[in-house]
Amino acid sequence: MSQDDLIDSVLVSMSTVRFRSVQPLFEQCVGGLYPENFEDIRSAGIHFDHDDEFPRIEEEDSAFLSLFNYLKVDNKINEIVISGHADFSGSECYNDTLSSRRAWYVYDMLVSNGIDPSKIRVNYFGETQPVTQGKSEADLLANRRVTVKLYR
């Protein structure tokens, strides 16, 4: 276990014997801590409908909101890797282009929300890295994605 791992997993307890008067302030401070940690946010997936370069609205709202908010409070993030993917329902050339457009869309969202572009690396893989080989709509949806990974 590295020193950074120890720092990220600190458990605090406080006896109220001599600190009863400041206990409410302590509890207020702890209550105001950010609710998610690096392990909660470090990898996010955003899915897309067939032949669409814009994320599904419900996923865009939840995934981006959590990611943007976390990036505002964690200044230890030194690299953000965006990887675009497609299912195999189109031609290989088309899927490469589509996964690129998806990845760059996410890049644009991050930059437009104040994320330093020098921290961002963009990859796109077309249909070459599926998470499943199935042909059901659920399988195809799982492969139409952009992953965002944070590194310290």
Residue 63 lies in a domain: yes
Please give the residue range of the domain that contains residue 130. 38-151
pLDDT in tens, 43-52: 988 999 999 9
Residue 22 lies in a domain: no
pLDDT of residue 64: 78
In whole angstroms, give the CA distance from residue 44 to residue 149. 7
The mean of the pLDDT values for the chain is 88
- What's the structural domain count of the chain? 1
The larger pLDDT score, comparing residue 6 to residue 114, is at 114
